[in-house]
């Protein structure tokens, strides 16, 4: 997919700016002015009819009085005056504006929405581009163009570009990140996004040769199709995107008539988008800092198998407490690696992953280097995390140890501490010399390992394309649907569809008791909730009697489905089209796992065998399928085939269906297949 990006360069690379609403008494106007004086080489004009000069610099009454036309306006004037100023600016040839003023569409104010639409119309009519309104400006570090209103230390140039839909969070986060040694290209607070939006800025950063890592703090995605297209471009250009996404709460979820729709809220589907496109989600701004450091080096693994080497038993214990919780994929060390490591650590310590190396990690630097190198040489290891802290005081410490480790392998190596600490100039210099990132705290480090692994795997696998929707509508009816399901690995129980209770009794004898009896009618969506299912019927007489009761619910217009009682583990399979991000597949264990724990996994279509297995392993209840409490393992292979089959069917027929759900599919004992007990279609 291609689209025309608006000229973000007009704003982020402007050669001259004018502060409209400059004032020596205004904290924001003076903050912007002083930030610009730190590094900006372009011309800065001040505009305010109430002053002739500010800090010994001339101040002009209006735009027309300026000696030259600025390329960008920085607007800090009352809401009522903004549109008129923009009209005048467009006529004079100004290209862009950053608007800090609010009152343009926030909340439910109808006049504000009218002003927002007028601003949007002006931009479309004139080609004018706007950051905001209701934003806090931006940092263009290569150009020294700092339009942020709060005082910020001089930012270091580096490979990181960021877009925040929260100006206050951007200002707070970037200060802390700078203290950790992170360097930047561009940082934007996008505000209300009436003109330029997140996709425009993202596309600009993907195209920018200086930007290597992109960070997002997003409340909402206005153009999801374009967003996904640009994210795919970023993956192809080896530019990871790290995301803090707001809106994870229950309040933000959509509801629908199917379980799939009710359980797959906007955040869950966005998570599937991230997995498909290699975007890395960060649960907190603190994690964003650690993840950024992990990705800044530009080393990406082929997989997620991690080796961890520390010097302390207590630290190893803390790590082990979180490994399972965070699904850390610990590498299985080869016998060759274990044999080589054994003589390098004390005899009482086990050779395992995570590895506690004891004295080798405290005093024997060369021994520690050798141990880490052996792990890095193991073909079963994709990336490494090793104990390491930055110096915080003036002291004679050389970064030689870490330099040697970085040079010994092309695999990612993260040094990390067990807790957080403050960094100093000595810390940042040491980190630069070492050539590897130094992370803080165990859980963010484990999440960073997982993030690197996910990105590396997605780079290796690529992005599958969605097949054409070429399925025939008639294949979704009656026996043709049953044939289609079975051809795609979705087995069915013995069953028969009849029109009368008497015929139901006859078919029940043929199928064999006990049987289930279900009412099939257009108005019956959820059979259990509607009282349209009777289970465990043991005789023809029972079937006839219950069938007559069921048919009265629809005044005789429905049909009866007589079905074999299938034994197995209940699983919910569903596919539907999300209005923002397109078709997806969902799987979850039935019963309490879905209804109460919301234990589901979601991926965008198409889903292949590898991804289907990964979805099942994402489930907290996956052990139920593997066999627990005397129950043998379920037929996971057959379930995987059914998941891939449903993906194929829905992808081919998505022009005819909005929703397709199998609830439940019964997963029999290993080797005995699956049976789709209830299949429900919602047509376009």
Contacts of 209 (CB under 8 A, 6+ apart): none
Query: What are the structure tokens assigned to 55, written together?
Result: 């800090």
Provide the token pair at 199. 């996709």
pLDDT tier at 520, thresholds 50, 70, 90? confident
Give the pLDDT band of residue 253 (cuts 50, 70, 90).
very low
Alpha helices in 476-560 (DSSP H): 478-487, 501-511, 540-552
- State mean pLDDT over 328-344: 96
Greatest mean pLDDT range, 132-141, 519-528, 548-557, 674-683: 132-141
Poorest-confidence range of 245-259, 551-565, 580-594?
A: 245-259
The DSSP H or E segment spanning 337 is helix 335-341
Checking if the pLDDT of 234 tops 90, the result is yes
Q: Is domain 494-564 given the CATH code 3.40.50.920 in the classification?
A: no
Distances (CA, A) of 321 to 56, 386, 532: 61, 17, 47
Name the residue with tokens 């500010």: 54
| Distance, CA of 21 to CA of 542 (rounded, Å) | 83
Flag whether pLDDT at 164 surpasses 70: yes
Q: What would the two tokens of residue 451 be?
A: 């993030």
184-189 and 157-164 strand pairing: parallel
As a whole number of angstroms, the distance between CA 424 and CA 437 comes to 15
Please give the pLDDT value at position 365.
79
The pLDDT score that the predictor gives to residue 556 is 66
pLDDT for position 263:
53
Is the model's pLDDT at 39 over the cut of 60? yes
Segment 284-304 shows an average pLDDT of 96
Residue 254 has pLDDT above 60, yes or no: no
Q: According to the per-residue pLDDT averaged within each range, which of 320-329, 507-516, 606-615 is highest?
A: 606-615
Instruction: State the distance between the two ends of the chain, measured CA to CA, in whole angstroms.
Output: 25
Cis peptide before 354 (omega within 30 of 0): yes
Is the pLDDT at 514 greater than 60, yes or no? Answer: yes
| 256: pLDDT strictly greater than 50 | no
Average pLDDT over residues 544-553: 91
SS3 state at 378: coil
Phi then psi dihedrals of residue 135, to 5 deg: -125, -175
When pLDDT is cut at 50, 70 and 90, the band that residue 678 belongs to is: confident
pLDDT of 258 strictly over 50: no
**CATH fold match for the domains 9-285 and 299-461:** yes
DSSP 8-state symbol, 591: T
Q: What is the predicted pLDDT for the residue at 398?
A: 84
Task: Compute CA distances 144 → 43, 157, 244, 615, whole Å.
Answer: 12, 10, 26, 46
Report the topology of domain 299-461. Rossmann fold (3.40.50)
Give the fold, CATH level 3, of 569-683: D-amino Acid Aminotransferase; Chain A, domain 1 (3.30.470)
Mean pLDDT throughout 39-49?
96
* SS3 at position 323: helix
Q: From residue 364, how far is each of 71, 133, 357, 361, 400 by CA, in Å?
A: 59, 58, 10, 6, 14
**Residue 257, pLDDT score:** 40
d(CA 374, CA 589): 41
Per-residue pLDDT tens digits for 456-470: 999 999 999 999 999
Q: Torsions phi, psi of 209, nearest 5?
A: -65, -20
Query: Structure tokens of 461?
Result: 């696998």
More confident residue, 441 or 365: 441
ω before 460 within 30° of 0 (cis)?
no
* Distance of alpha carbon 88 from alpha carbon 65, whole angstroms: 12
Output the six-digit token pair for 578. Answer: 């999300």
Check pLDDT > 70 for residue 124: yes
Q: In which residue are the tokens 């360069």 written? A: 9
pLDDT given for residue 109 in this prediction: 84
Contact indicator for 297, 412 with CB cutoff of 8 Å:
yes
Sign of the CA dihedral with 204 first, then 206, 209, and 215 last: positive
CATH of domain 9-285: 3.40.50.261
CA 453 to CA 302: how far, in whole Å?
7
365-393 residue pLDDT tens? 788 889 999 999 999 999 999 999 999 88
Per-residue confidence at 584, pLDDT binned at 50, 70, 90? very high
In this model, does residue 252 exceed pLDDT 50? no
Residue range 609-637: average pLDDT? 91
* Residue 190: closest CA among 181, 182, 198: 198
> Residue 560: which of 550, 575, 574, 569 has the closest Cα?
550
Share of the chain above pLDDT 70, in %: 95
**Nearest of 81, 175, 193, 203 to residue 129 by alpha carbon:** 193
Question: What radius of gyration, in Å, describes the C-alpha atoms of the chain?
Answer: 31
| CA angle 242–244–247, rounded 5-degree value | 145
Q: Read off the DSSP letter of residue 366.
A: H
Least-confidence region, from 35-44, 65-74, 145-154, 206-215: 145-154
Q: What is the C-alpha separation between 623 and 603, in angstroms, rounded?
A: 20
CA torsion through residues 261, 217, 324, 613, sign:
positive
Q: What share of the chain is helix, strand, coil (3-state, %, to 5)?
A: 40, 20, 40
Who wins on pLDDT, 152 or 563?
563
Mean pLDDT of 649-678: 94
Residue 397 pLDDT class (50, 70, 90 cuts): confident
Per-residue pLDDT at 508 exceeds 90: yes
Q: Give which of 363, 345, 359, 427 is closest to 392, Cα–Cα.
A: 427
Which tokens belong to 170? Answer: 């951007």
Please state the domain extents for the chain. Answer: 9-285, 299-461, 494-564, 569-683
Query: Are β-strands 559-564 and 495-498 bridged in parallel, bridged antiparallel, or unpaired?
Result: antiparallel
| Integer CA distances (angstroms), 387 to 309, 390, 394, 587, in order | 6, 11, 21, 38
* Average confidence score pLDDT of the chain: 92
Place of tokens 């992109």: 214
- What percent of the chain has pLDDT above 90? 79
């Amino acid at each position: 997919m291609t689209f025309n990006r608006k000229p973000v360069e007009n704003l982020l690379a402007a050669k001259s700016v004018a502060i409209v609403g400059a004032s020596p008494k205004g904290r924001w106007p003076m903050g912007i002015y002083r930030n610009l004086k730190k590094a900006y080489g372009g011309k800065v004009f001040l505009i305010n009819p109430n002053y002739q000069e500010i800090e010994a610099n001339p101040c002009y009454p209006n735009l027309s009085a300026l000696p030259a036309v600025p390329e960008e306006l920085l607007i800090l004037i009352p809401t009522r005056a903004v549109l008129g100023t923009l009209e005048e600016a467009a006529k004079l040839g100004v290209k862009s504006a950053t608007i800090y003023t609010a009152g343009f569409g926030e909340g439910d104010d109808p006049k504000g929405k009218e002003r927002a639409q007028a601003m949007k119309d002006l931009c479309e009519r004139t080609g004018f581009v706007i950051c905001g309104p209701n934003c806090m400006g931006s940092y263009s570090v290569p150009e020294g163009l700092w339009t942020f209103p709060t005082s910020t230390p001089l930012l270091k140039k580096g490979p990181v570009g960021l877009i925040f839909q929260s100006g206050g969070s951007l200002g707070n986060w970037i200060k802390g990140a700078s203290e950790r040694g992170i360097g930047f290209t561009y940082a934007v607070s996008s505000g209300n996004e009436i003109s330029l939006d997140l996709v425009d800025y993202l596309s600009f950063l993907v195209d920018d040769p200086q930007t290597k890592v992109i960070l997002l703090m997003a409340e909402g995605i206005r153009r999801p199709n374009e967003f996904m297209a640009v994210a795919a471009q970023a993956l192809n250009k080896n530019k990871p995107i790290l995301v803090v996404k707001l809106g994870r709460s229950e309040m933000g979820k959509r509801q629908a008539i199917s379980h799939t729709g009710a359980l797959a809220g906007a955040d869950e589907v966005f998570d599937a988008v991230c997995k498909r496109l290699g975007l890395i989600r960060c649960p907190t701004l603190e994690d964003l800092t650690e993840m950024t450091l992990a990705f800044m080096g530009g080393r990406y693994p082929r997989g997620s198998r991690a080796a961890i080497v520390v010097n302390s038993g207590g630290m190893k214990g803390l790590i082990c407490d979180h490994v399972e919780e965070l699904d850390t994929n610990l590498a299985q060390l080869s016998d060759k690696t274990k044999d080589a490591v054994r003589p390098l650590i004390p005899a009482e310590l086990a050779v395992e992953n995570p590895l506690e190396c004891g004295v080798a990690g405290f005093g024997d630097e060369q021994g520690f280097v050798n141990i880490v190198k052996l792990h890095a040489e193991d073909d079963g290891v994709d990336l490494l995390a090793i104990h390491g802290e930055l110096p915080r005081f003036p002291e004679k410490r050389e970064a030689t140890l870490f330099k040697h480790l970085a040079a010994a392998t092309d695999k990612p190596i993260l040094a990390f501490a067990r807790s957080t600490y403050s960094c100093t100039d000595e810390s940042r210099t040491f980190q630069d010399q070492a050539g590897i990132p130094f992370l803080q705290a165990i859980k963010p480090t484990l999440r960073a390992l997982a993030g690197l692994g996910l990105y590396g795997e997605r780079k290796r696998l690529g992005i599958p394309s969605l097949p054409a929707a070429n399925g025939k509508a008639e294949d979704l009816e009656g026996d043709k649907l049953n044939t289609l399901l079975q051809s795609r690995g979705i087995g069915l129980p013995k069953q028969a569809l009849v029109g009368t209770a008497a015929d139901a009794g006859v078919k029940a004898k043929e199928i064999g008791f006990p049987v289930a009896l279900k009412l099939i009618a257009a108005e019956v969506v959820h059979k259990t909730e509607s009282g349209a299912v009777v289970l465990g019927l043991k005789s023809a007489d029972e079937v006839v009697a219950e069938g007559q009761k069921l048919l009265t619910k629809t005044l005789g217009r429905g049909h009866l489905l007589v079905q074999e009682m299938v034994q197995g583990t209940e699983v919910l399979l569903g596919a539907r089209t999300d209005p923002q991000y397109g078709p997806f597949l969902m799987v979850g264990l039935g019963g309490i796992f879905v209804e109460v724990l919301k234990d589901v996994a979601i991926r965008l279509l198409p889903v292949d065998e590898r991804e289907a297995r990964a979805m099942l392993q994402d489930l907290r209840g996956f052990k139920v399928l593997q066999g627990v409490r005397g129950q043998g393992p379920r037929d996971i292979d057959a379930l995987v085939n059914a998941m891939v089959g449903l993906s194929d069917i829905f992808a081919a027929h998505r022009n005819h269906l909005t929703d397709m759900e199998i609830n439940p599919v019964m997963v029999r004992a290993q080797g005995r297949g699956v049976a789709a007990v209830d299949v429900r279609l919602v047509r376009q």
